[in-house]
A and B are shown apart, each in its own frame.
Chain A
Amino acid sequence: MPAVLLEARSLTKRFPGVTALRDVSFDLRAGEIHALCGENGAGKSTLIKLLAGIHPHGSYEGELRLDGRAVGFHSVRDAEAAGLAVITQELALVDELSVAENIFLGRAPRRGLCVDWLAMHRRAAKLLAEFGLAISPEAPVRTLGIGQKQLIEIVRAMDKRSRILVLDEPTAALTAQEVAVLLDHLRRLRAQGTACIYISHKLDEVFALADRITVLRDGASIATLARAEVTVPLVIRHMVGREIAELFPRRILDGAAAPAPRSDQRGERAAAPVDPVLSVRGLTVAPAKNSPPFLREISFELRAGEILGIGGLMGAGRTELLMHLFGAWGRRLAGEVTLCGQTYPAPTPRESIARGLGLVTEDRKRFGLVLDHSVGLNLSLSNLGEFVRRPGRIDGSAEFRRNQALFDALRIKAPGQDARVGGLSGGNQQKVVLGKALMTEPRVMMLDEPTRGIDIGAKREVYELIRRLATDGRGVVLVSSELPELIGLSDRIIMLHEGRIGGEFAQGNFAQEKLLAAAMGHARAA
């Protein structure tokens, strides 16, 4: 058996309020491709950042050993010097420079004080030829496709004599053909003795490539398996775990396992079907003019009082779908959206709010809040028109009372409405974003990862709020990466896969394995 090159022993990484990695161990052998698998938030990114020196030595517990010696990387430079090259989805290439300049970025061959351009281009041409790449060393990187850019990064890593290649979702943006090329190169490098850590959501790639597979779940390493001994469904089962995390509130879980607690209402609805409050038919959306569609042929219906869960892996198009419905993303190429019985083209967020749509965005700090301002100013931001009296003046008292009512109802923990939002905890910030959307009295509330980065107590409160939204007769669209959350709250679940609907599931049919398989495009296999 080849020697162990890199070993991770009991790595634990804590962030304020969250333990991202718990006692994770695994090892990487020379000439091996080792895949890391896990759901969103399982801890893969944290692990990579730790290996790459982005989370520096000392900020985590446990030990990293390279060639049998304990090592600690304090920066990305340290990791590179030790022979570790990390290639992430955000490529570290300078678009405006040439291929050769990028390969030798920061280490250009010199003659005296000048860059030796001839030597640089000659060496670059040689490297590219070794990789069988028909790319001119003088071509600007911006003219290359993403697949080629990724290969340029690999070429650079190889030229730096990296022994360990870490690839984080390298194929997320590649075409099938580019994927095949990349996999071939990786196999060739493996034959030459390079070790590779390969992270991908795409299990077929993992199975086509990896020698061993380590599954991460909830920040812990669950199992390391030899590829030859496992099957796709087995890996999926490891990824979701057999038991749902106990963190989830019991009362809500019952709703998923047992028949619906609101079965009486269901009965009424079944007797007199209500018109959907939101209906989407054949929606196809491109990110911008002249680009290929990203969301394809999405259709669903949402009734008043119903919670529709939308799941999917990172990059499946969940956030984009909500943002598009809200008028804040993309160009609609085809399809029709009907809101409360009327066709709705979704031109701007302003129009959407006026028409009864509410959106709680995923990245609350970037899209949801004016962090420097007070809780009160944020709560009423979408609704100021309601408080305008006499020529143009805001009635401060009316605004204050309205804010205070929400502040109390949502149980926002802050010294008062005039506290700065940026100083609150994640859970309370999330409540402010929710409150802002609630104040506009939406008929349809869309929630994008409403519990991301908030503590368990606050999660529970948010779950209760979501329930109440539906029982109040609103339609709720809930996007979440956490399957237990979707299962626990939703009446129906749609899993998106690469911009399409990968599967739709009715209540009672919410097995985690099936949902995850649909998200991975294995709807039939599972």
Chain B
Amino acid sequence: MNAKLLRHLALPLALLVVAAFFAVKEPAYLGPRNLTQLVVEFSIVGTLALGMFLILLAGQIDLSVGSGVGLIGGIAAVLVFQRGWPAPLAMGAAFVAALGLWTAMGALIVRQRIPSFIITLGGLLVFKGLFWLVIQNSTVPVARGDAENLISRLTTYYLPAGVGLALAIGVVLALALLAWRGRAARAAHGLGAQPWGRVVARWVSVATAVVGLVTVFNAFRGVPVSLLVLAATAGAVFFLTLHTPFGRYLYAIGGNEEAAALSGIAVERVVVGAYALMGVVVALTGFMSTAYSGASTTTVGDLMELDAIAACVIGGTALRGGRGTVGGVLLGALIMTALLNGMTLLAVAPEIKFIARGLVLTLAVWADVRLGRR
């Protein structure tokens, strides 16, 4: 029981330790300005990690997403800035490109039976090259002059205080409804229902966090719109993984591919589907990431694939597939972002940041291997 409790609390505790450490070193870390920035960064990493989650669930991997983020953002930026396309149209075109590329990679992996590690490693290099070709090794702003457009607003638009608060209250109420319905459903099926005390306590803590955060955001500029993109992605992935056959199949394929195939699951189709969804997520992340840097430059998306994988693994997603939760992935991404953001705030040298990132990734995978052996 204690070990189980510890496992449940390990991630929140880790987050608390990271936050406390940076807050002591630099009180501005938890200030409204930095927290807002941290949440924008979290939205970017978290969204990508949610896509990676689908891939890892099926027992696959995708190393190409970092380059992909740069490439897709680059395509959109070039179309807007150099060709003068309206932002939504440029985003649509880049989106279609991402969907096509990732579907093709998925098809190569399942049809030609080439390990995903190799195909996506190739993708990493090819997409990086394409990316630099597209932007011609230069810096391409996402908007012309000082004008704002749909892309640039992804990381610069904030909800008005009232709207943010209303949204927060809506979310909190919806969570209450879900918790109540979930409990009722368990009880209706004669399953042990959780005690009301725990259900209420959980809801109160989540509600406090949500309303508190929105209050903090409002103290700066308001709720960043990128957080809504993340929330929508998380909601979609949550629904997909737990409430649709597609999601169940991902878990089953990752858990035991042979048994899944013999159970009549079209394994190939499902895996290609996961890659196609990864393409969608790469496009979303690409737009946000490029907007966050203000322009498409050669370094956009660098090493993001590793941050995404680290976030998933920290959050308890098994690298062998078949195990993991959306909540864990979000928490993992938050820990990753809290760390990176804190180091940037303390002006830690880039070389040290690389080392720290590497150590966190190694530590997370080590923990996965150790726990996976249970």
Contacts and interface: CB of A to CB of B under 8 A. Distances in A.
Does A associate with B in a complex? yes
Interface of A: 326, 328, 348-350, 352-354, 359, 361, 366-373, 377, 381-382, 384-385, 388, 392-394, 396-397, 400-401, 404, 416, 418, 436, 440
Given A370-B252, A370-B256, A372-B322, 18 more contacts: A349-B262, A350-B264, A366-B256, A367-B258, A367-B259, A370-B251, A370-B255, A373-B252, A373-B322, A377-B251, A381-B252, A381-B265, A392-B245, A394-B243, A394-B245, A400-B189, A404-B189, A440-B264
Contacts, number: 81
A416 B190 CA distance: 10
Contacts of B191: 416, 418
B263 A436 contact: yes
Contacts of B243: 393-394, 396
Nearest to B192: A416
Contact of A373 (B246, B251, B262, B265): B251
Interface of B: 185, 188-189, 191, 239, 243-246, 248-249, 251-252, 255-256, 258-266, 322-323
Given A350-B265, A370-B252, A373-B251, A397 B185 contact: yes
Contact of B244 (A350, A361, A394, A397): A394
A367 B189 CA distance: 30
22 contacts: A328-B261, A349-B261, A349-B264, A350-B266, A367-B258, A367-B259, A368-B259, A369-B256, A370-B322, A372-B323, A373-B252, A381-B248, A381-B260, A381-B265, A382-B263, A385-B245, A388-B245, A396-B243, A397-B189, A400-B189, A404-B189, A440-B264
A328 B262 contact: yes
Find the residue from B244, B246, B249, B256 having the highest chain A CB count within 10 A: B256
A240 B17 CA distance: 68
Contacts of A393: 239, 243-244
A377 B252 CA distance: 9
Find the residue from A361, A373, A393, A400 having the highest chain B CB count within 10 A: A373
Contacts of B239: 393
Contacts of A366: 256, 258-259
A349 B263 contact: yes
Contacts of B263: 349, 353, 381-382, 436
B192 to A, nearest CB: 8
A404 B190 CA distance: 11
A221 to B, nearest CB: 37
B244 A392 contact: yes
Contacts of A392: 244-246
Nearest to A384: B245
Contact of B260 (A359, A370, A372, A397): A370
A418 B133 CA distance: 52
Contact of A368 (B244, B262, B266, B322): B262
Given A350-B265, A353-B264, A370 B189 contact: no
A352 B261 CA distance: 12
A86 B364 CA distance: 43
A388 B245 CA distance: 8
Contact of B259 (A348, A350, A369, A385): A369
Find the residue from B239, B255, B261 having the highest chain A CB count within 10 A: B255
Contacts of B264: 349-350, 352-354, 382, 440
Contacts of A382: 263-264
Contacts of A372: 255, 322-323
A404 B266 CA distance: 26
4 residue pairs, one from A and one from B, having the closest CB atoms: A370-B255, A353-B264, A384-B245, A350-B264
Given A392-B244, A394-B244, A361 B262 contact: yes
A295 B41 CA distance: 60
Nearest to A323: B262
B261 to A, nearest CB: 6
Given A396-B185, A416-B191, A359 B262 contact: yes
Nearest to B320: A372
Contacts of A326: 262
B21 to A, nearest CB: 35
Nearest to B257: A370
B265 to A, nearest CB: 7
Contacts of B265: 350, 381
Contacts of A377: 248, 251-252
Given A393-B244, A396-B185, A367 B252 contact: no
A418 B188 CA distance: 15
A401 B188 CA distance: 11
Nearest to B261: A349
Contacts of A371: 255-256
